[in-house]
Structure 1
Amino acid sequence: MPTTALQDQLERGVAALGLALPAGAVQRLLDYRALLERWNAAYNLTAVRDPAEQVTRHLLDSLAILPYVQGDTLADLGTGPGLPGIPLAIAAPGRQVLLVDSNGKKVRFLREAIRALKLEGVQAVQSRVEDVPGQFDCITARAFASLADMLAWGGRLLAPRGVWLAMKGQAPDEELPGVPAGFAVRAVHALAVPGLAARRHLVVLGRDTA
């Protein structure tokens, strides 16, 4: 698909999501997608190989949670090739972003993407979630694990007033009772990703202050 068609698709999707992106963000998002496509030939970073599907399933799917992102620091756990962390960093620059994955090939790609796209304040680390230090205002996780496992492994990373954004497909009703003590579900949002028929949900969690 020609680049102009992908740009039109992305711009329409961003408008449908009601987002206002910084100058140059659309081009940087497309540059990220193109870099992912090039590396994918050798490293198998994503099963989604059609460029238009990558715009929908990777870029717009990631951007759909942007209105819920908050704070000065963000950790994207199990980020894979940088989803949703890199699109969020491009769309809302200025916060410190840590991309975490245990797969060395994916982290090598992440570091090249950070360099090539000149993503200031973004770092990639090869690590298990259990070994990541610090605390973060916002934590994102996309199709990473059950809510119970996510919080068991990484709950300590959430700052006291922080927000945990867990991206899911179907509404994870059966997972909600498994949220461990000390955490609470703040909201569950159905997300409408432009061009995507599949269901998407966002579970917003925080520390239980009761």
Structure 2
Amino acid sequence: MPLSIPADVREHLLRFHGLLIKWNKAYNLTAVRDPLEMVDRHLLDSLSVLPHLHGEEILDMGTGPGLPGIPLALLRPDAHFVLLDSNNKKIRFVRQVVLELGIVNVLPVHARVETYQPNHPFDTLISRAFTALPRMIELTRHLRAPGCRLLAMKGMVPEDEIAGLPAGMKKEVIRLQVPLTDAERHLIIVE
């Protein structure tokens, strides 16, 4: 991946990876069990969307164990990230990661998207495996700043979901290049 990652950030990514492996054994945070597989399926997959982030206020919806939010926040210290999930066990893990790694630009929040009431709207909303695009648009009206970008990370291109988006919304499909994996990965950008 064409990323320049400072040594201290690489160290934080590796520490996050280690915490994910450790906590996953006891708390079932992710179905991926193989530590090497976690590198491409979680870390590299998360970082593949870095060039598409917009603005400084970013909401990771359905973050689970902090994916893609933690890796992105480590590489974008200039931005503020809210990592949102309705699963308290996973948010407890994210809080522990933020504490242990001293990440100052991440706020973990235990809430559902439809009930979350932030102090400010967001420039970018991102999700990895949250819900279908039309439902995502419906649930996030109260969270979007003017010019907000919605980034939906998907496997195969969800043609039916894209077709179900409201008319007039600008849509772009980008094939993501994730090293070490042959799986199809796409980013759907909706403005």
Q: TM-score range by the shorter chain?
A: over 0.9
Query: How far apart are 1:192 and its partner, in Å?
Result: 1.3
CA contact 1:188–1:203 (8 Å) conserved in 2: yes
Question: Which residue, 145, 165, 171 being the options, matches 1:179?
Answer: 165
Residue 90 of structure 1 is matched in structure 2 by 74
1:140-191 C-alpha deviation (Å, 9 max, x unpaired): 100111001111111331211121110000011111121135x613310011
2:47 to 63, 67, 73: 63
Using the TM superposition, give the Cα deviation of residue 22 of structure 1 relative to its aligned residue in structure 2, in angstroms: 3.3
> Are 2:174 and 1:201 equivalent residues in the alignment?
no
Q: Which runs of 5+ in 2 are unaligned?
A: none
| Residue 123 (structure 1) aligns with | 107
1:7 alignment partner in structure 2: none
With structure 1 as the length reference, what TM-score do the two structures score? 0.87
Structure 1 residue 107: deviation in Å?
0.6
Equivalences for residues 150-161 of structure 1 within 5 A: 150-161=136-147
**1:23-62 equivalences in 2 (<5 Å):** 23-62=7-46
Contact 1:111 1:124 in 2 (8 A): yes
Whether 1:167 aligns to 2:172 is no
- Equivalents in 1 of 2:35, 2:188: separation in Å? 28
Identity of aligned residues (%): 47
Task: Output the aligned Cα RMSD.
Answer: 1.2
- State the alpha-carbon separation in 2 of the partners of residues 136 and 23 from structure 1: 30
Q: How many aligned residue pairs are there?
A: 189
Is the 8 Å Cα contact of residues 100 and 124 (structure 1) preserved in structure 2? yes
1:46-66: per-residue Cα shift (whole Å, max 9, x none)?
Answer: 011111100000000000000
Which secondary structure does the structure 1 equivalent of 2:153 belong to?
A: strand
Runs of 4+ aligned structure 1 residues displaced above 2 Å come to none
Does the alignment pair 1:110 with 2:94?
yes
The gaps in structure 1 that reach 5 residues or longer are: 1-16
Residues of 2 paired with 1:185 and 1:145: CA distance?
Answer: 19
